[in-house]
Amino acid sequence: MYIDHPPMTALPDTTTKAAPEAPLPHIAFIGGGNMASAIIGGLVKQGVAPEALTVVEPFEASRDALRAQFKVGAIAKADKSLEGADLVVWAVKPQNLREAAGQAGPFCKDALHLSVAAGIRSDSLAQWLETQRIVRAMPNTPALVGLGQTGLFARAGVTENDKAWVEWLVASTGQFLWVDEEAQLDAVTAVSGSGPAYVFYFIEAMEKAAIDMGMSPEHAKQLAIGTFVGASQLAQSAQEPVSVLRDRVTSKGGTTHAAITAMQSADLGALFQDAIRAAQARAQVLGDEFGKND
């Protein structure tokens, strides 16, 4: 059920990403899993009234959890109540999106659509939802703690006002950027979408090394994670490029130099770049597969 609201075009541009002063749009989430919960959590934390949000989620336990945690309305399947939605967030698994679009799409033809589904191209979405008012997003899991990175691509049917609303919504989960070409979302997927797993992989390796050297698992975990957090914050606050920061802690003949030399002789940097390109290539293939019409 939705409360009364003015049309979105009457709302102000929100380049500050703060919650706009005008009444908020009504937002429907199709799929109430991890990504939807991250966004809903961010919005509720910003003071968005739970009555402005509705989630379509087939799994009863997930509906109960959403109601308990965020006080939002949760329904088992799409119905006429979605007709009041100004903004629809598609947050189902890519393989479920076409079916979900067939179920919920007819109720929200006039809405602005934001898809967070990995790999589903906006051409397919436009066809399934019969609208050009579509933004595709590629978020990542640190959105769950408000530190996400999201790449955004808008189809030509998306207005500047629409974009401002998308920015406001996505900013509740962290930082974002717009790409001009949809294909660049495959690079976003490869760098930041899959990126948390790369970081976890390196943290695991650091923890193992520390334990091998006789440290307790607790100490190993603290040092490994804390070093990533600390170095990342230092890199973010510094004016210099990270290569300069690295040089500063790598005195010739010292301990860091020994480690970096070992990594360079194994060409770890090139290997890592190849791995990221493999993720980009996979994103392209998945996009082709999900877009098939059979």
Ligand X SMILES: NC(=O)c1ccc[n+]([C@@H]2O[C@H](COP(=O)([O-])OP(=O)(O)OC[C@H]3O[C@@H](n4cnc5c(N)ncnc54)[C@H](OP(=O)(O)O)[C@@H]3O)[C@@H](O)[C@H]2O)c1
Count of residues in the chain: 294
CB of 210 to ligand X, least distance (A): 27
Q: Is 35 in the site for ligand X (CB under 6 A)?
A: yes
CB of 62 to ligand X, least distance (A): 5
Q: Where are the beta strands (DSSP E) in 155-214?
A: 174-178
Strands 87-90 and 148-154: unpaired
CB of 236 to ligand X, least distance (A): 21
Scan residues 182-201 and list those touching ligand X (CB under 6 A).
193
Q: Is 32 in the site for ligand X (CB under 6 A)?
A: yes
80 DSSP assignment:
G
Rounded distance between C-alpha atoms, residue 213 and residue 190, angstroms: 33
CB of 169 to ligand X, least distance (A): 14
Q: Is 31 in the site for ligand X (CB under 6 A)?
A: yes
Q: Is 94 in the site for ligand X (CB under 6 A)?
A: yes
- Sheet containing 73-75: give its strands across: 73-75, 53-56, 27-30, 87-90, 112-115, 134-138, 148-154, 174-178
Find the binder of ligand X among 5, 20, 50, 96 (CB under 6 A).
96
Do 187 and 278 form a contact (C-beta atoms < 8 A)? no
Q: Is 59 in the site for ligand X (CB under 6 A)?
A: yes
Binding residues for ligand X (CB under 6 A): 30-36, 56-59, 62, 91-94, 96, 99-100, 103, 116-118, 138-141, 193
